[in-house]
Amino acid sequence: MRELYSYKLKSHEDSYLINHLKFVGNRAKELIQNKDLKFSYNKELLESAAEVMGYSHDLGKGTSFFQQYLEDMIKYGKSSVEDKLKSHAAISALICYNNLRKVDEELALIGYVVVKRHHGNLNNFRDESNITNLEIRDQKKLIAKQYNALSEEIRNICNELALEFLELQDLITLMDEIYENLEEYNCNLEDNKDFEKYILFKYLFSVLIYADKEHAIFREKNNISYEIPPTLIDDYKLKKFRNSDEKNIRNIVYDDVLENIEKNDRRIMSITLPTGTGKTLLSMSAALKLKAKLREDMKIVYCLPFTSVIDQNFEEYKKAISTVTNEKVTSEQILKHHYLSPKNYEKSDFYYEGDEGRFLTQNWNSQIVVTTFIQFFNTVFSNNNSDLIKYNTLANSIVLLDEVQSIPYKYWRIINTLFKDMANKLNMYFIFITATQPLIFDKKDIFELAEKSESYFKAFKRTRLIVKEDPMEKEQFFDFARNIIGKNKDKNILIIVNTIRLSQELFNTLKDLDDSRERVYLSTSIVPKERKRRIELIKNGTSKKIVISTQMVEAGVDIDMDIVIRDMAPLDSINQSAGRANRENRGEYLGEVYLVRVEQNNKLLASFVYRDIVLLPSTEKVLRGREVVLEEDYKEISDSYFKELKSNLSNKESKKLENLICELEFEEINKAFQLIEDQEKISLFIEMDMEAKEVWSKYQEFKSIKDIHERRNKLETIKGELYQYVISVFKNKCRENINEGIGYISMNQLENAYDVDLGYKTEENSIMIL
């Protein structure tokens, strides 16, 4: 009869080490077991590898150093134990490697790196082997010291978990073998031509850190049931629109797409439709129907570039669920995740906030996730622990990428190749949704779900684009705007320019115009709270308006104007601007969109903003010789534009990323993929009302909290409110002092720093770019 052993070592304040290791190992195995993976390794082998990683990842916590540190932190909130002595990942990684090398050498090396780095980020793989003899000697000394400080209980834990526990000398000898194998593996990566290693590495890393943090926070699993019916949107439409005409183009399009979901078995699909055809509900219905067809538990991840539209579409989907089920919607059914969204999580019987709410939200623990391109692409390309923890949730998922034309064309090739590999290996499906489909995939590689797409575009005759070929200096442009305004006294007019300075000058010029229409100004120099109020005024107000804006109005601002004047921009931006004219289709070609070319010193102002050498020339080329373009021809023009982009594509950035991925240069990949170009901007808080004053006071109070977890949780509760008063300003244009990453303009400073109409004031002579 086996003698019972009383375990005493702890992994956390209220958790025994043996229980933590068992949970993490079993959970890591389960996270692979439940997914339909297709790597070159059979799934059972990957399950075993994940289990060993989980069982061994914290064995180094069994030293007297770590146990003393934990006891000190529990009693006193601080400890004098040296960081390197209490560290535990390196010695745990050695034990992991030893137990995996008999199974598979590559998995042993992956397991070693994953366990060694599980408290941090994934480094470039070459850095794991790029180590000097002196560093190796120091590491061996540290490992020997930690080994001798291990409790005898570790042997019993290893026996319990069926792990081999080496003697010290064998462990030290093993280190030499590992460094040699790491170096050899790194050399072989130079000849690697596929992405499997990259996807597998990140997946196993994600599985371990997910299981580890789940137990550290909850001590239990957080599984969800996939119960949302495939007919959700069908049922919602019946209740919302009731006697909708079957011949309505939205219904025709809807049926067309859903029929094609049933017909095809492709993993990469597209929905290319004009604005106003109901793509929001249609795309979700397509995903639910695909999930039902596959008969698998598939997470639906709906991604958009703009947080404003995410909030809007999230509410629409949430309303669909509540309308159909007649029940309160839970976070297990649908959740929203972007940098400003609350990190609270609501089940039918529990409400989580703080660390628990953050974990469940940031790791997409829901049937439907509504999130940003930034969150999704960071998960795909980042090396950061906080991004990669949810990488494993991409397996068995249907990803809806809406407004895909906003993806920079320099990344088309890498998205093409990587997404195809991810789709096959992680059982993923992608649907690319837009009115202007970029040529990320060749026609043979992507299936268009809107089979009659061309005819749908021909059916819309809401707007016409009037191209003004002759360039205008600033004063000529102002005269042109005044002339359009004067000739159309009964119209709502939107004027979009490319720089904040020009928009402010234009607003001041038109402010004193003898015209009864309300003037509304929009740009990122206005705090978000006030921007939102002005957008609602434009959408729902009854009076006629003249709106002057920067291109921020294109980012998901759903307004309907009669006339739009747009300064030169890339074609996809022009299309977005045109979508703000006659949006509700009040009659044929009632929406007029004027495209102008504003210059300064014989140089297009647009070129100060759109500095890419391909975008503007490609736009000019496809529009050359066209005085008027009707909406029914927009798709043809867009197709020509994207072909022009593709023909001028150097693929330099994509090829660089491909090489980095093949060589497992995780840090460099993270640096190389920038969905939004880094800009020298800083954040400014504008204390423009009493609510702002109150939230700033809370921010100062919470920031002074000493406990890092309590401070983070408290700050999280006011983040959404705080950022309603925050604007981004170019660093060289900012006059305020910046403290800990954010500047502050008090109520007393408003008169000198913030204009009630135009927002933040800058002292500058040059153009300020949005």
pLDDT tens readout for residues 264-274: 999 999 999 99
The stretch 439-467 carries a mean pLDDT of 94
The stretch 271-280 carries a mean pLDDT of 91
Residue 115, token pair as written in the block: 């366990």
Of 648 and 301, the one with more pLDDT? 301
* CA–CA distance, 331 with 519 (Å, rounded to integer): 41
* CA–CA distance, 124 with 111 (Å, rounded to integer): 15
In this model, does residue 747 exceed pLDDT 70? yes
**Which pTM does this prediction carry?**
0.93
Residue 683: helix, strand or coil by DSSP? strand
pLDDT of residue 102: 87
Please return the burial class of 28, using the count of CB atoms within 10 Å of its CB with bins 0-12, 13-18 and 19+.
Answer: buried
Gyration radius of the chain's alpha carbons: 29
Extended strands (E) in 133-290 = 268-272
Q: Among 476, 639, 490, 676, which Cα is nearest to 567's?
A: 476
Strand 681-686 and strand 545-549: pairing? unpaired
pLDDT digits (tens, 9 = 90+) for 507-523: 999 988 999 999 999 99
- Mean of all residue pLDDT scores within the chain: 93
Q: What are phi and psi of 273, to 5 degrees?
A: -145, 150
The stretch 198-207 carries a mean pLDDT of 98
Q: What are phi and psi of 260, to 5 degrees?
A: -75, -25
Q: Which one-letter amino acid corresponds to residue 464?
A: R
Cβ proximity of 47 and 211 under 8 Å: no
pLDDT of residue 3: 55
The stretch 299-326 carries a mean pLDDT of 93
Residue 44: how many other CB atoms lie within 10 Å: 11
The stretch 220-232 carries a mean pLDDT of 95
In this model, does residue 716 exceed pLDDT 50? yes
Q: Among 529, 556, 511, which Cα is nearest to 691's?
A: 529
Residue 616: how many other CB atoms lie within 10 Å: 19
* CA–CA distance, 454 with 180 (Å, rounded to integer): 59
Q: Which one-letter amino acid corresponds to residue 605?
A: L
Residue 468, token pair as written in the block: 């003004």
* CA–CA distance, 17 with 7 (Å, rounded to integer): 8
Q: Among 213, 199, 224, 220, which Cα is nearest to 364's?
A: 224
Residue 713, token pair as written in the block: 């949780």
Diameter of the chain measured on Cα atoms: 98
Locate all alpha helices (DSSP H) within 101-195, ordered by sequence. Answer: 105-116, 125-129, 133-148, 153-160, 168-188
Q: Among 680, 679, 676, which Cα is nearest to 732's?
A: 680
- N-terminal to C-terminal alpha carbon distance within the chain: 75
pLDDT digits (tens, 9 = 90+) for 718-736: 999 999 999 988 877 777 6
pLDDT of residue 1: 39
Q: Please state, for a pLDDT cut of 70, what percent of the chain lies above it.
A: 97
**Sheet-wide strand order for 563-567:** 518-522, 545-549, 493-496, 563-567, 591-596, 463-467, 628-630
Nearby residues of 349 by Cβ (< 8 Å), 6 or more positions away: none
* CA–CA distance, 389 with 212 (Å, rounded to integer): 10
**Residue 205's pLDDT band (cuts 50, 70, 90):** very high
Cβ proximity of 45 and 104 under 8 Å: yes
**Residue 756's pLDDT band (cuts 50, 70, 90):** very high
Q: Please state, for a pLDDT cut of 90, what percent of the chain lies above it.
A: 83
In this model, does residue 770 exceed pLDDT 60? no
Q: Among 630, 620, 489, which Cα is nearest to 563's?
A: 489
Q: Among 109, 92, 78, 110, which Cα is nearest to 11's?
A: 92
Element (H, E) at 535: helix 528-540
Residue 279: how many other CB atoms lie within 10 Å: 25
Which residues lie across from 299 on neighbouring strands?
Answer: 397
pLDDT digits (tens, 9 = 90+) for 377-403: 999 999 999 999 999 999 999 999 999
pLDDT digits (tens, 9 = 90+) for 48-106: 999 999 999 999 999 999 999 999 999 999 999 999 999 999 999 999 999 999 889 99
Angle at the Cα of 490 from the Cα atoms of 487 and 493, rounded to 5 degrees: 75
pLDDT of residue 505: 95
pLDDT of residue 4: 62
Nearby residues of 590 by Cβ (< 8 Å), 6 or more positions away: 462, 463, 562, 582
* CA–CA distance, 194 with 661 (Å, rounded to integer): 8
Task: Give the chain's count of helices (H) and strands (E).
Answer: 32, 27
Residue 691, token pair as written in the block: 């609510």
Residue 388: how many other CB atoms lie within 10 Å: 23
Q: Among 452, 344, 213, which Cα is nearest to 717's?
A: 344
pLDDT digits (tens, 9 = 90+) for 21-51: 999 999 999 999 999 999 999 999 999 999 9
Residue 494: helix, strand or coil by DSSP? strand
pLDDT of residue 341: 85
Residue 348: how many other CB atoms lie within 10 Å: 11
**What's the DSSP call for residue 16?**
E
Residue 509, token pair as written in the block: 């010029």
In this model, does residue 765 exceed pLDDT 70? no
- Angstrom CA distances, 347 to 188, 224, 225, 354, stand at 48, 10, 12, 15
The stretch 463-467 carries a mean pLDDT of 96
Residue 447, token pair as written in the block: 């299936």
Residue 516: helix, strand or coil by DSSP? coil
pLDDT digits (tens, 9 = 90+) for 47-59: 999 999 999 999 9
- Angstrom CA distances, 139 to 133, 146, 170, 429, 580, stand at 10, 10, 15, 44, 63
Show contacts of 190-197: CB within 8 Å, 24+ apart.
Answer: 190/663, 192/662, 192/663, 193/662, 194/421, 194/662, 195/417, 195/418, 195/421, 195/422, 195/661, 195/662, 196/39, 196/40, 196/421, 196/425, 197/662, 197/664
pLDDT of residue 696: 96
pLDDT of residue 676: 81
Please give, one letter per residue, the 3-state secondary structure of 52-114: HHHHHCCHHHHEHHHHHHHHHHHHHCCCCCCHHHHCCHHHHHHHHHHHHCCCCHHHHHHHHHH
Conformational region of residue 399, where left means phi above 0, alpha means psi within -120 to 50, and beta covers everything else? beta
Residue 429: helix, strand or coil by DSSP? strand
The torsion of the CA quartet 530, 531, 535, 540, rounded to 10 degrees, works out to -10
Residue 678, token pair as written in the block: 């880094």
Residue 216: how many other CB atoms lie within 10 Å: 17
Q: What are phi and psi of 162, to 5 degrees?
A: 60, 40
Q: How many CA atoms lie within 13 A of 707 on its CB side?
A: 7
Cα dihedral sign, 109-111-113-115: negative
Element (H, E) at 241: helix 232-241
In this model, does residue 767 exceed pLDDT 50? no
Of 743 and 733, the one with more pLDDT? 743
The torsion of the CA quartet 437, 439, 442, 444, rounded to 10 degrees, works out to 0
pLDDT of residue 737: 67
Cβ proximity of 568 and 606 under 8 Å: yes
